[in-house]
A and B are shown apart, each in its own frame.
Chain A
Amino acid sequence: MLLIHCPYCEADHPELEFANAGEAHIVRPREMSNMSDEDFEAMFFIRDNPKGVSLERWRHVHGCGRFFNALRHTVSDTFLKVYKAGEARPSNDEIAKLIK
C-alpha cells in the first residue's frame, strides 16, 4: 500500500484515503467544439503508460477532497514529487534530476 503525501494537508497518508485520477496535464480546451477528431482522440483516449516516471493525478478523496498531481516512478512506486493542481508540469530536466 502506497504512502502518499498530500500537498494540501502536507502530511503522509495511506493509499486507502486516495483515488487515482489518471494522467495529469491533459489540457481540456475551452473551445472544444472546434476540435478535430484526431485532437479529440489524442486528448480523450490516448494515454501514456510509461515504464518510468508517470505524471498522474490523485484525489485525497477521504481526506481534504482536493485533486493534486504527482510524479511516480512506476518501477519502484517512489513518489518523486507531489504538487498542487494548477502548478506547472515539471520540466524534463527537473524530472531527470529527481530520478537521480
Chain B
Amino acid sequence: MKYFYLIWKSIWRKKVRTILTVLSVFVAFFLFGILSALNQAFTGVDDVANAKRLVVLDKVSIINSMPSAYLSRIESVEGVERVAHASWFGGYYQEPNNQFPQFAVDPQRYLDVYPELLLPDDQRDKWFSTRDSVVVGRELSDRFAWTIGDRIPIYSSIWTNKSGSQVWEFELAGIMDTDDPRGSTAMMLIQYDYFDEGRAFANGSIGMYILTIDDIENSASVADAIDAQFTNSASETKTSTEAAFVKSFVQQFGDISLIISLIVGAVFFTILLVSGNTMAQSVRERIPELAVLKTLGFEDRSVLGIVLAESVLVMAFGGLLGLGSSWLVANFTLAGSAQLPGIYLDVEAIATGLFYILFAGILAGIFPAVRAMRLTIVDALSRA
C-alpha cells in the first residue's frame, strides 16, 4: 500500500496515453457487459421459464395455427392441470418502431397458467367483463404513458378486422406487474373472444396452447400423450417444455452464445495488445528510473510488483468503469425493453468481468514486468 502513490504517479506519467488506454479498456468492458446481458436475454431462458409449463405448437411451423377444439382434448390428457392459449396479434402502436408482443388470450385461463402476473381485482374484473379491453405490463404503460381507461389503437400487420381495417382499438382495463424479478411484463393481452369474432379470417384457430402439469417428472410422457392425440390430423402438434420452446425460438437467430463469445474474444485480444503495448512502452521509457529504484534498494520482485500493479490498476480503472456503466445501462435502461425482454447483467457475468479485469491486467503487464525485474542495474543506468 505504501507504494500506491508511486504506482499512481507512474500511471499518469503520460496522461494522454493512459487516458486513451483506459478509454479502450472502458469500451471493451462496456461491450462485454452489454453483450453478456444480451446473452442472458437470449440464453437465460431456463431461469425465467417455468418447468411445470408445457407449450403446444403446430408441428410444421410456429406460424401455423391449430383448431380451438384442441383445448378440451388437451385438458383431458392425464397429468394436465390447466390449459390456456395465446394467439400472436403482431401489431404496433402508432408507428412500426413501437412493436411489442401482443397476444389474444382467454383471460381467466391465461392468469391461471401464469400466476406470477399480478393484476388488482378491480382491473381484473374490468378486463373480464369488457370484451374490447386489454391489459398491459407496467413496462409498456410506463413506456407509452398509458393510463387505465385510455383507448389504444393497435395496427396489426396480420389481422384485418371485419370492417376491413387493420387498426384495432382497445380500452386499457388494467396494468400488470410480476412477482418474478426476471420476468418481463412488456406485453399486451387481448380478449380472445373479441379478437376471434372480429377478425376477418382464420376464426376458431389458436396460435399455441400453454399448459401446466401436476408433476415435472411427467413432462415427457404428458407431451407425448398430447402429440399422440393429434397424430395424422390436419394439424399435428409438437409439445415441449416452456424452456425448450423459448430456446428453439432463440436459436432461429443463430448460436447467440457463440457469436457473443467470438465478439468478446476479439475485443479482449485487441485490448490485451493495446494494454500490453502501452505497458511495454511505459517500461521501455522508464528503464533508467526502474534501475534507480533498484539502486536505492528496491528488490527485483518489488519492481515486478510495481509494474504489474500499474497494469492491473489501468485495467481496473477502465474495466470497472466499463462494467459499471454496462450494469447501469443493461439493468436500468435496457431492462424492460419490449423488444428484448430478459436483458439483465447478472452477478455471474459481473464476477466473470472482474476476473477478466484481473486476468487481462496481469497478462498485459507480465512481460514488461518480468523485463523490468530482470533489468541489470549497471546496464540500465548506462542508458540514462
A binds B: no
